[in-house]
Amino acid sequence: MRSTFGICALLAGLGSVSLFAADASATWNAKAAGGYLDERQAWWQGWPMAARDHGTFCISCHTAAPYALGRQALRFAMGETGPSITEHKLLDNVTKRVMMWNEVEPFYSDKDRGAPKTAESRGTESVLNALILINYDSRSGGLSKATQTAFDNMWALQLKDGDSKGALTWLNFHNEPWEAEDSQYYGATLAAIAVGLTPMDYQSEPAVKANIALLRQYLQKGYQAQSPVLRTMVLWASSKMPGLLTKEQQKSAIDSLFTLQKEDGGWSMTDVVGTWKRHDGTPLETKSDAYATALISYALEQVGVKHDQSGLKRGLDWLVANQNPTAGSFPAYSLNKNRDLTSDAGRFMSDAATAYSVLALTAK
């Protein structure tokens, strides 16, 4: 998608990216953002709690999956010649688990965590694997053997009957925004985004076409009941899957998101996640955060909102102004408990927020 906002340019020696509007400019530290993402992903890859069988590690919704999306976008914006070491390790890990799908253990099992964790883990991983691999393949327009296999694994787990017909079973640890009671819908939006990145000849295969139709129907059926953050995900998915939303639905979704924008230009997860309450009873943060702001800004960009549109421009400006210039990260807060934001678990939301901020700030 071409941008009227301008271009991202690497400032020689500084690693900063400038965004130019018609009458203003702002600078953020892309090099520091990349350093933060690489450091956090390297930590995740070596964290004993993330380790899984056959020398693999878990693909998390907060650190690993957003990293794969954001780090590649940043690499292209900065003119890097190839994937970083941590990117290579992540891709090797995903490819290994895809190609050993019937041999590797699920991330969480019924035996260790109780039913239906095996099914939830398989469904979740199958979507994340497909999304990560096709995101890399889409730059070349092809479909690698590993990516094809990842989609085969995903479609084999698609639910073909019941209330969730068309979706995939998704992890539920009662934690927002990725592993809660409504997260099956979130997972379905990721599946739609992944499918939308595949070549048209793949999407036209009869079996795949039928699977896509079921997925589209599931998302359409449940759309009106979703929280604003999930409608944001559908908005993003609609840019990849034609016919998912009508033009009127897209416009309504865009308008409703701008009504939730704060005076400082950002958005808060508290305002878009619905009626969620923290497990520890502490109040949710109400100020703008980078996860909500970046995700919404990126979704708006994907459906064609121009960078010089006042609401989107204010959102992007908020991101630029709120980057930690030293750490490179963008701030976000736990929806589930009052965490120490300097701890490893306390940075999970900021991991995702930083990756999505990179996506929003490098989008063209």
Handedness of CA 308, 315, 298, 34 (dihedral sign): positive
- Hey, what are 205's tokens? 């295969």
C-alpha angle 131/135/174, rounded to 5°? Answer: 30
Predicted model pTM: 0.93
Cα 122 to Cα 107: distance, rounded to the nearest angstrom: 8
What's residue 5's pLDDT?
Answer: 28
Peptide bond into 116 cis (omega under 30): yes
Residue 9 confidence (pLDDT) above 80:
no
What's residue 55's pLDDT?
Answer: 98
CB 143 within 8 A of CB 198: yes
Select the more confidently predicted residue: 333 or 364.
333
Task: Please compute Rg for the chain using Cα positions.
Answer: 19
- Hey, what are 27's tokens? 């600078």
Between the alpha carbon of residue 269 and those of residues 51, 59, 92, 122, 173, the distances in Å are 30, 23, 33, 28, 19
What's residue 26's pLDDT?
Answer: 60
Q: In this predicted model, what pLDDT tens digit does every residue of 162-179 receive, in sequence order?
A: 999 999 999 999 999 999
In the structure, what pLDDT confidence band is assigned to residue 52 with cuts at 50, 70 and 90? very high
Cα 92 to Cα 86: distance, rounded to the nearest angstrom: 10
In the structure, what pLDDT confidence band is assigned to residue 139 with cuts at 50, 70 and 90? confident
What's residue 141's pLDDT?
Answer: 81
Q: Where are the domains of the chain?
A: 9-362
Rounded average pLDDT over 139-144: 87
Topology at the third CATH level for domain 9-362: Glycosyltransferase (1.50.10)
CB 67 within 8 A of CB 352: no
